[in-house]
Structure 1
């Protein structure tokens, strides 16, 4: 199975669509588009019978561009890469990094598709798909997109490993609204596969993802936390917030318990680390040794590995 690889060299579980399924999806889209075009043309001819030949020709050209070019572009943009034919065949158009397409991607695919699909009856698109390793036509090459299969056989489930207990709730004050979906996808894919990577490659990849995540959140990753553990803790924090918004209760694993955000003693800039207790928030009671978080040791700082 050929996999899609992001810019961070993380393989995603997306399979590029083959030529037969893509051809069937395009055929369905063309049948629907030409049916709509014929109906609209009949209505336009009936309503513009009083115009001269030049005006009638201009109206027909505008109708052709609007129905056969503009409507498919709008459909792909609004549906994030799922046209009627692709939806029926279980396909979807995505960016090269696995993220959803935008208007500019759909515009380039539609403009190039006029030449390689409509004007050449699909011959150029078929040749380009056969030559391309991932079955991309010229529109996909120029737009930086890829058609992938959404309905694939279910494989073994991959879970994101939980962060160390002493990191749970430490990043409750981070602003995660500026993190793009593509970066979340890359982080989750790395965390589920870091046990299969070479240690040096995995460490370099974790440092790069942690740097990108720190740039998006506005708070760099703390130096006393391993990059992989930092990524797992932030993903856990996001899952906790999603669960709290969905169910209105405490997030996953009680990630916010005992956390004071970025302004408390558990903030990213506090050298005391997560084991320090806040005298302004916590009651004046001594925490039992069995409950207090263990201090960070060099072995803990580099020994974050996912569960088997």
Structure 2
């Protein structure tokens, strides 16, 4: 029986293809929100200084002072966030700093409607409560969603990922004979990525965690590999990766050869 693959961070595209995405962590999202809040308050203080300066010059009448104050609040904390998030396709200065982007729950790009809902509710949960409601909501949701995200159907997706070190696996000598008769079927992309990521980071794992994860991955590949050799789990994962790479390389070579034949026939015609 294979180990179930965790799909909590997967979404389905319109073609029913699983896409592996990662939501932005709670602390990184809170940091981005603090940056956006600070910029909003700086903008408001600039507007406040400009109002006082214009009042000192007699340009603004005191009778419209209260109306102007409300307008400044709406512009700084509602209109400006909506415009920035819509124009930057789910990004803001704070999100740029922490590597996040607001997207729909299905992974699609967020639009004006989503930004409008988030900004309106953000006045209550971010500014009127100094972020307390947003922090409570984010701490108890799987994707660190605040109330505005829940209503708008959005979350903050991580778009800045660490650069992975390329790894070219080599067939273990002990499994060279098995590789001549092995049949490795196509695996789910999620499982193949897990194997690749494990092999890239195995050297930095503790021995117990390394052995446990290798065993779990071998169990998960049991229905796709025949026959199952009696080998060290990590060596078997390397051998499976090498066989999959060679199979994909052969498939590409066959496709290229067919394309060359078709091209030659068209030229001859």
Residue of 31, 42, 47 corresponding to 1:35: 42
Matched, 1:19 2:19: no
2:9 to 3, 12, 22: 3
Is this contact kept in 2: 1:3–1:11, CA < 8 A? no
Q: Is the 8 A contact 1:101 1:145 kept in 2?
A: yes
**Does the Cα contact within 8 Å between 2:55 and 2:62 map onto a contact in 1?**
no
Aligned partners of 1:136 and 1:123: how far apart in 2?
13
Q: What's the CA shift string for 1:71-109, capped at 9, x where partnerless?
A: 111111111111111111111111112122111111111
Determine the structure 1 residue equivalent to 2:53. 46
Residue 58 to residue 98, structure 1, CA distance change in 2 (3 Å): same
- Say if 1:33 and 1:114 are closer, same or farther in 2 by CA, change over 3 A: same
TM-score by length of 2: 0.57
Larger helix proportion, structure 1 or 2? 2
What CA distance in whole angstroms lies between the structure 1 residues aligned with 2:190 and 2:137? Answer: 35
For residues 36 and 62 of structure 1, the distance between their equivalents in structure 2, rounded to whole angstroms, comes to: 13
Residue 116 of structure 2 corresponds to residue 107 of structure 1: yes
CA distance in 2, matches of 1:15, 1:142: 20
Higher mean alpha-carbon deviation, 108-117 vs 129-138, is at: 129-138
- Cα 1:193/1:45, change in 2 over 3 Å: same
Q: How far, CA to CA, are the matches of 2:128 and 2:112 in structure 1?
A: 23
Give the corresponding residue for 2:174. Answer: none
Asked if structure 1 preserves the Cα contact closer than 8 Å seen for 2:90 and 2:101, the reply is yes
**Residue 61 to residue 13, structure 1, CA distance change in 2 (3 Å):** same
The alpha-carbon distance between structure 1 residues 47 and 192, as it changes in their structure 2 partners (threshold 3 A), is: farther
Give the gaps of 5 or more residues in structure 1: 158-190, 197-252, 259-276, 286-308
Of structures 1 and 2, the one scoring higher in RCO (CA 8 A, sep 6+) is: 2
Quick one: distance in 1 between partners of 2:191 and 2:138? Answer: 35
Structure 1 position 60 matched with structure 2 position 56: no
Decide which of 181, 190, 193 is 2:189's aligned counterpart: 193
Q: 3-state SS of the aligned residue for 1:147?
A: strand
Aligned mates of 2:268, 2:32 — CA distance in 1 = 67
Return closer, same or farther for 1:59/1:156 CA change in 2, 3 Å cut-off.
Answer: same
SS at match of 1:16: coil
Q: State how 1:1-308 maps to structure 2 within 5 Å.
A: 2-6=8-12, 10-49=17-56, 50=58, 51-154=60-163, 193=189
Spell out, residue by residue over 1:229-278, the C-alpha distance to the aligned partner (whole angstroms, 9 max, x if none): xxxxxxxxxxxxxxxxxxxxxxxx979x76xxxxxxxxxxxxxxxxxx9x
How many correspondences in the alignment?
176
- Give the RMSD, CA atoms, in angstroms: 3.3
CA contact (8 A) 1:6 1:96 kept: no
Q: CA deviation at 1:153?
A: 2.9
Structure 2 alignment gaps of length 5 or more = 1-5, 167-186, 193-257
SS at match of 2:102: strand
